[in-house]
Amino acid sequence: MKICITGASGFLGSWTTQILSKDFDVIAITREHSSTLSLGSNKEITLISEKTEKWADVVNKIEPDVLIMHHWQGVGNTARNSPDQYLNVKEVKAFVSSLSPINQVIGVGSQAELGPRDNLILDDDASNPTTHYGHAKCEVREFLINHFEGTETNFKWARIFSTYGATDKGNWLIPSLIESLKLEKPYPLTEGTQNWNYLHAFDAAEAFKVLATVGDSGVYNVGHTHDCVIRNVCVEIARLMGKNLELLKFGKIPMRSDQVFKLDVSTQKLQKLGWTPKVELTQGLTHTIKWMLGETPNPIQLNNGSLINFDNLFA
């Protein structure tokens, strides 16, 4: 099976590209001049760097069985309320409207579509975004659903909840906390009472593998089956790094007005297709920490006890 992945050089896009290339013919499409370091030197991947306005021509020429659209600019939390988020909407509409028919198309959504919730989050829950990022994701989702309705394309929307892992960068909690503790710097936090949901990037990529092969059209939640408390996650990171817990400055940052306090995610729809998370939090954090510290070899342990080595992929 031939799979095209746009935005293949991003954090989650690179994990999806690397994992799927083990079983499928993967063509990775990146923006012109984008860094492809996260794709390593994997010779099983066909890499194409091109201007976004030419992506549709590239995909039409390849004639893939599956298209996974990971591309999105401004994913970082500092850009969540930038009006530039809607440039993504314009870009996706122009790209998709120029595509020839494809058997399967998978769009990539976000928990930001939903806004704060205190109930179990189902796949078809109504949207209630509180950021430009969330609004833009919702607009893209509705456009794609309407665009492919009545066609032979099987369209799926993978709604991603918080992911983490090697190659993750920026101001996200896990990588920024690890970096701060590595330098023995105090790290300001909220009280950390939020009930969260963290999914390792390997498990997210495995979800895309499943969605590329089975399942009907629709929205699929992609999150971990177990939740966690943010304070406990931070303490576990410090413990794994052997750092003084006094460096964790809980309560120094106030909660946002739109703070999400609970992420209780139902993934039953995806699990019925045969997917289940294989990386527990401690194992995932251990691998992420060692990668950020440059420690090799660095296999990741799955919950069945087996080890997988990614050192040749994320060098």
Length of the chain equals 315
3-state secondary structure of 53: helix
Domains of the chain: which residue ranges? 2-309
Give CA separation, 305 vs 29, 202, 205, 280, 300, in Å: 34, 15, 19, 11, 10
Mean pLDDT computed over 130-148: 97
Q: How far apart are CA 247 and CA 30, in angstroms?
A: 39
At residue 311, does pLDDT exceed 80?
A: no
Determine how β-strand 195-196 pairs with β-strand 228-229: antiparallel
Backbone angles phi and psi of 6, in degrees to 5: -90, 155
3-state secondary structure of 133: helix
Band of residue 154 on the pLDDT scale cut at 50, 70, 90: very high
Tell me the per-residue pLDDT of 11-64, one tens digit each, with 9 for 90 and over.
999 999 999 999 999 999 999 888 877 776 777 899 999 999 999 999 999 999
3-state secondary structure of 99: coil
Cβ–Cβ under 8 Å, residues 270 and 315: no
Tell me the per-residue pLDDT of 218-259, one tens digit each, with 9 for 90 and over.
999 999 999 999 999 999 999 999 999 999 999 999 998 888
Mean pLDDT computed over 77-89: 90
Q: How far apart are CA 136 and CA 43, in angstroms?
A: 35
Q: How far apart are CA 191 and CA 231, in angstroms?
A: 7
Give CA separation, 31 vs 53, 171, 225, in Å: 10, 22, 34
CATH number for region 2-309: 3.40.50.720
Work out the number of other CB atoms within 10 angstroms of the CB of residue 279.
25
